[in-house]
């Protein structure tokens, strides 16, 4: 999936699981966790080695990473674990596949196509339509729950949004042709502008004033 799909899916999962568990979620943290596995793209650029969809996409790695949080925060950690795990098991597993889901136990690359499910690539119209619908769904929920207003408040956690801004959103618009299909340009731009505004509000209200 592209960044918009990952973030929208993670938000909807975290929001719904948080409601069931009666937990108020930290939305910026959810967005950050949703794209953290793709940090391997940065290492590919820096070290010129093939890492994408490798160890950072492992479910075992995700679970081990969250063990301390499960111990200290118990059920409160679940929405955030779902946000991280959704990147691999609910998105990339079906879109593109070739994930090292069982690293470090195995480096075998797995995907839905190996289990008889037709392979869907990231630029496939089916995936593009799915990501657009996830985006619309996430925005509707954010408006209904007034979560959108949290980005306009001086919450320090909004500074976390510099991670998706710098790693997956801003780079999308630094090359030509754009790295995303036309229909997903506006969704990516929406999140980029929203996150930048959220960060600037924190800077001006809490740091500069």
Look up tokens 């980005």; give the residue: 151
Query: pLDDT grade, residue 185 (50/70/90)?
Result: very high
Please give the pLDDT value at position 15: 97
The CA angle 134-143-150, to the nearest 5 degrees, is: 105
Mean pLDDT of 127-150: 97
- pLDDT bin (cut points 50, 70, 90) of residue 207 is confident
159: pLDDT strictly greater than 90: yes
- Condensed to tens digits (0 to 9), the pLDDT of residues 56-92 reads 999 999 999 999 999 999 999 999 999 999 999 999 9
Q: How many domains does the chain have?
A: 1
Report which of residues 164 and 41 the model is more confident about.
164
Tens-digit pLDDT profile for residues 14-72: 999 999 999 999 999 999 999 999 888 776 666 666 677 788 999 999 999 999 999 99
Rounded to a whole number, what is the largest CA-CA distance in the chain?
58
pLDDT of residue 163: 94
**pLDDT value, residue 149:** 96
The dihedrals phi and psi of 110, each to the nearest 5 degrees, come to -120, 155
CA distance 161 to 205: 16
**Among the ranges given (16-20, 134-138, 172-176), the one the predictor scored with the smallest mean pLDDT:** 172-176
What's the pLDDT at 42?
A: 75
Structural domain containing residue 126: 3-208
Residue 177 preceded by cis peptide, ω within 30:
yes
């Amino acid at each position: 999936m592209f960044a918009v799909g990952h973030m929208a899916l993670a938000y909807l999962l975290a929001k719904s699981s948080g409601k069931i568990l009666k937990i108020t979620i930290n939305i910026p943290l959810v967005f950050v966790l949703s794209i953290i596995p793709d940090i391997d793209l940065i290492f590919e650029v820096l070290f010129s080695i093939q890492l994408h969809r490798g160890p950072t996409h492992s479910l075992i790695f995700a679970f081990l990473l969250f063990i301390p949080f499960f111990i200290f925060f118990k059920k409160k950690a679940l929405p955030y674990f779902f946000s991280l795990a959704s990147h691999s098991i609910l998105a990339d597993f079906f879109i593109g596949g070739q994930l090292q889901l069982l690293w470090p136990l195995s480096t075998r690359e797995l995907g839905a196509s190996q289990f008889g499910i037709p392979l869907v690539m990231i630029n496939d119209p089916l995936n593009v339509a799915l990501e657009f619908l996830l985006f619309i769904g996430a925005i509707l929920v954010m408006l209904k729950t007034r979560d959108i207003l949290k980005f306009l408040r001086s919450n320090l956690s909004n500074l976390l949004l510099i991670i998706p801004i710098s790693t997956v959103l801003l780079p999308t618009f630094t090359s030509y042709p754009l790295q995303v299909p036309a229909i997903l340009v506006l969704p990516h731009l929406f999140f980029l502008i929203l996150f930048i505004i959220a960060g600037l509000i924190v800077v001006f209200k809490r740091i500069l004033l």
